Amino acid sequence: MKKILLIVPALHQGGFEKVCVVTARLLQPYYQVKIVIFDSQDIAYDIRGLEVADLHLASRPGKIAKLWNVVKRGFKLHRIKQKEGFDIAYSFGPTANIANIVSMGKAKKWLGIRSYMDMGNPKQIKWFSREADRVICCSEQIRREIQEKYGCKNAVTLPNPFDMREIEMLAEKEEALLPWTEGRILVSMGREDVVKGFWHLLKSFALVHEALPDTKLLIIGQGEYTAYKELASALGIDDAVCFTGLKRNPYPYLKKSSLYVLTSYNEGFPNALVEAMALGVPAIATDCMTGPKEILGKEYGILVPNMSPEADFEPQHITDEERMLAEKIISLLEDGEKMAHYREMARKRAGDYTTESYLSSMRRWISEE
């Protein structure tokens, strides 16, 4: 039985962290699988039944401390690889990829590129391309760019996996406790991070709520969201906006929603978008560098132009792009026929990203090593 080592910095709420856990569960019946993390604080995912080792090497501020962390992580990983004889070491995200490379050892090195933000460091991507036995990209655009710019012949595309039956089951598992009992709910999901562009969402929603007073906005994700709550208050929509915080089971909330809205200006493969679509929630998303366009295409949802990455919490400053998003939302919500169409198309498209397809690709590549 082949031994597979999965390396991830932590298991906080996030896209590649979730993919790491799902990958472990999918591979576990066929291989000996172990997850190594650098820090076990704030684990957001169910890891019961999985073998997880904590290196106790959380990120630290300062260049010297960061460099020393790289050395220590590489040393500890090298010992694990050699002692336990892993055949493949698959890492998720830049810091894990660096540790995977410097740890050396006989295990084949698979490096995961899970976000287009990772492409902002050309020297690092060139290094990854040279050292990796396989570069696994979550989007076809990232794979194509790595191959064309860096001559990487080992790059492959592997979209994130989704268990549709489990999502539907979890959506029925518990009641979503909301501060409202009626109205149409817009939802977006993600940690508190400027890359998610939630200030755009709040300003657009203020216009939507003015035109359609029964609308509400739900933002699900880890963080305090202090600046966003202040913006909602300044916009006069705080009674119509709810920040739920981290939800280990967000699916009951997604199922109650009328529309999913993604305002990120950078993504890799947005898990929450597909999860909402799996529950039949129509979607509107920014056409950021990777992710939404590949998922929605021209028929499965609505794309709007990408938005500014510059955080702007001035309530009086509402841009043309924010107005355009609001107009698209209002137009869709008021058209029952279109809403029904996009509900059907959302479910159809989500069905293309199954765990079965993901596992089939993984097992084929493992057999080739």
Cα torsion through 300, 306, 307, 308, rounded to 10: 160
Residue 245 CA to residue 153 CA, distance in Å, equals 41
Consecutive H or E run containing 260: strand 259-262
Residue 312: CB atoms within 10 Å: 14
Confidence at residue 104, expressed as pLDDT on a 0 to 100 scale: 84
- How many H-runs (helices) and E-runs (strands) does the chain carry? 14, 13
User: In 93-171, which ranges are E strands?
Assistant: 108-113, 134-137, 155-157
Helix axes 355-368, 15-27, angle to 10 degrees: 70
Instruction: Please tell me the pTM assigned to this model.
Output: 0.83
Confidence at residue 175, expressed as pLDDT on a 0 to 100 scale: 80
Instruction: Give, as one character, the DSSP assignment of residue 305.
Output: E
Residue 12: CB atoms within 10 Å: 17
Q: Tell me the residue type at 235.
A: L
Residue 282 CA to residue 207 CA, distance in Å, equals 20
Confidence at residue 59, expressed as pLDDT on a 0 to 100 scale: 87
Give per-10-residue mean pLDDT for the chain (369 aa). Answer: 96 86 97 96 90 93 90 95 96 95 94 87 93 94 93 93 93 87 94 95 98 98 96 97 93 96 91 96 93 93 95 96 98 97 97 94 95
Instruction: Write phi, then psi, for 35 (nearest 5 degrees).
Output: -105, 135
Confidence at residue 105, expressed as pLDDT on a 0 to 100 scale: 86
